[in-house]
């Protein structure tokens, strides 16, 4: 098993590829998710610590018969819960090849060609976002780590007394930002009010910064959203940049979900000003349809990141190399050991091309808009907030509940959500907007069609009929 023969590797590979083909041929017809208990899964997995090995076919059988059916099917076209990519076959092969090569992208000398490929791919992403040629960055595990890295650089660049440093973000900003600020020891995190579309109110931002200055605190960084995970809201980036310049603040943009929608002409204007951010967090494993994990941070001035992260130890000192070959990713981010995440990004961008990706993203946006039009033309649904990107939030409002209180309607929709998830034909998640419960979905799958949005509402109506009254 540790050192198989060429023939064994060939047989293993054929078996895995056939399994992938069978899965993708049938995933549209199956359930997104089914009710299952943790104890039931454990019963189907051999719990004893293995002392003797087994055949690869036995391992693959467990994957086929237990792991797949008892998982949430993220490749299903009606998997609308959360911000979840289906992955792509080309990226799955890329992950296989990356694991096979097992390159460790700490520095150029550790993995020359993989490091160059990552630098090239980061440069492509820089161009997609519209940053100038001096910008750079690196791949990380996800948007949470990208936000952490960016805030660490902001703190290094803008202040010394950490307990007095202030960060500003709307109440719709992802919780990873507040978590990163706490881990970094930042003094205060101010929640900025949002408007009726859940976008940051710049007037409130100005007021809170001015109040901190009067108290003698140190405004450091403002975090803007390029697509919130709650509603898909995009903050007014140009206005926020102007305020950041006025008060000499670092501007970080969390574009983990939405920023790659800049590739879609129908919404690209929402991202005006993105290229002027000091840093941007992205998740290629979201709207580039890649499998987890691959996040990304882009710095407008990578030297600022080097100031924050560069650390010298004798066992990492590069001897006898020119500047290009002395490059080390550990100087620009928190990780030392780093897997070859860039390979799947490169293979997708190179293999699919931007035109294909733009078309797929436009298709996702069109699906969310279609859902909204169906809701607005119905007499038993209501939108909780207008669609901005591909996230949609709505409620079921059957005739029997039309005269009930908001609390009763919300409680019904909570029960409906649980029943819908257990039903398995379509999968939604939940959120609370202005104190009201809402069904929430996100279209992030190139397989999803307009018809899937119609089926979703049919599923909600069907399940709703069987959902008990309070």
Structure confidence at residue 225 as a pLDDT band (50, 70, 90): very high
The confidence score (pLDDT) of residue 33 equals: 87
The confidence score (pLDDT) of residue 127 equals: 98
Q: Using an 8 Å Cβ cutoff, are 375 and 386 in contact? A: no
- Give me the residue label for tokens 């928190």: 334
Alpha-carbon span 310 to 330, nearest angstrom: 7
Nearest to 286 by CA among 237, 329, 234, 229: 229
Q: Which two tokens stand for residue 1?
A: 């098993």
Structure confidence at residue 250 as a pLDDT band (50, 70, 90): very high
More confident residue, 35 or 151: 151
Average pLDDT of the chain to the nearest whole number: 94
Please report the domains of the chain, with CATH numbers, ordered by start residue. 104-339 (3.40.640.10), 353-465 (3.90.1150.170)
Q: How does pLDDT run across 310-334, given as a tens digit for each residue?
A: 887 666 666 655 677 889 999 999 9
Q: How does pLDDT run across 170-180, given as a tens digit for each residue?
A: 999 999 999 99
User: Average pLDDT, stretch 227-246?
Assistant: 98
Residue 306 has pLDDT above 80, yes or no: yes
The confidence score (pLDDT) of residue 162 equals: 79
User: Average pLDDT, stretch 270-281?
Assistant: 98
Q: How many residues does the chain have?
A: 470
Q: Using an 8 Å Cβ cutoff, are 274 and 129 in contact? A: yes
This prediction's pTM:
0.95
The confidence score (pLDDT) of residue 37 equals: 87
- Give me the residue label for tokens 């119609």: 454
Residue 50 has pLDDT above 90, yes or no: yes
Residue 384 has pLDDT above 80, yes or no: yes
Q: How does pLDDT run across 386-420, given as a tens digit for each residue?
A: 999 999 999 999 999 999 999 999 999 999 999 99
The confidence score (pLDDT) of residue 326 equals: 85
DSSP E strands, 194-275: 218-225, 250-254
Residue 233 has pLDDT above 90, yes or no: yes
Q: Using an 8 Å Cβ cutoff, are 359 and 442 in contact? A: no
Alpha-carbon span 121 to 135, nearest angstrom: 13
Structure confidence at residue 468 as a pLDDT band (50, 70, 90): low
Q: How does pLDDT run across 422-438, given as a tens digit for each residue?
A: 999 999 999 999 999 99
User: Average pLDDT, stretch 113-124?
Assistant: 98
The confidence score (pLDDT) of residue 190 equals: 97
Bridge partners of residue 234, in order along the sequence: 226
Structure confidence at residue 467 as a pLDDT band (50, 70, 90): confident
């Amino acid at each position: 098993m540790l050192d198989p023969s060429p023939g064994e590797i060939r047989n293993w590979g054929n078996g895995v590829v056939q399994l992938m083909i069978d899965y993708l041929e049938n995933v549209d017809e199956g359930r997104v998710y089914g009710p299952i208990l943790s104890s039931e899964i454990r019963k189907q997995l051999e719990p004893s610590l293995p002392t003797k090995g087994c055949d690869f076919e036995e391992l693959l059988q467990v994957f086929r018969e237990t792991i797949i059916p008892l998982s949430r099917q993220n490749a299903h076209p009606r998997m609308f819960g959360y911000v979840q990519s289906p992955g792509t076959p080309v990226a799955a092969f890329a992950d296989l090849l990356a694991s096979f090569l097992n390159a460790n992208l700490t520095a150029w000398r550790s993995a020359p060609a993989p490091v160059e490929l990552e630098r090239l791919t980061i440069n492509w992403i820089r161009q997609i976002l519209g940053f100038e040629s001096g910008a750079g960055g690196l791949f990380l595990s996800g948007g949470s780590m990208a936000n952490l890295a960016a805030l660490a650089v902001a703190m290094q660049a803008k202040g010394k007394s950490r307990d007095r440093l202030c960060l500003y973000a709307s109440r719709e900003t992802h919780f990873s930002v507040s978590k990163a600020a706490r881990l970094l020891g930042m003094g205060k995190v101010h929640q900025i009010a949002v408007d009726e579309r859940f976008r940051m109110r710049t007037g409130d931002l100005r007021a809170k910064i001015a109040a901190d200055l009067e108290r003698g605190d140190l405004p450091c960084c403002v975090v803007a959203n390029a697509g919130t995970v709650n509603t898909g809201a995009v903050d007014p980036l140009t206005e926020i940049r102007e305020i950041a310049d006025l008060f000499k603040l670092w501007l970080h943009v969390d574009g983990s979900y939405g920023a790659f929608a800049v590739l879609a002409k129908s919404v690209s204007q929402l991202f005006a000003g993105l290229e002027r951010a000091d840093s941007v967090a992205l998740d290629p494993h979201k709207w580039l349809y890649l499998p987890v994990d691959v996040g990304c941070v882009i710095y407008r001035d990578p030297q600022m990141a080097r100031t924050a992260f560069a650390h010298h130890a004798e066992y990492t000192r590069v001897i006898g190399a020119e500047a290009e070959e002395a490059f080390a990713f550990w100087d620009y981010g928190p990780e030392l050991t780093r897997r070859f995440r860039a390979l799947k990004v490169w293979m997708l961008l190179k293999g699919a091309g931007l035109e294909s990706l733009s078309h797929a993203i436009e298709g996702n946006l069109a699906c969310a808009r279609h859902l909204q039009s169906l809701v607005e033309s119905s007499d038993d649904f209501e939108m909780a907030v207008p669609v901005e990107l591909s996230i949609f939030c709505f409620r079921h409002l059957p005739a029997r509940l039309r005269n009930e209180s908001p609390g009763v309607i919300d409680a019904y929709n909570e029960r409906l959500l649980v029943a819908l998830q257990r039903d398995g034909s379509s999968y939604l998640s939940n959120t609370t907007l202005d104190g009201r419960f809402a069904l929430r979905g996100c279209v992030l799958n190139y397989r999803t069609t307009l018809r899937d949005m119609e089926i979703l509402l049919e599923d909600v109506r069907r399940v709703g009929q069987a959902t008990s009254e309070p």
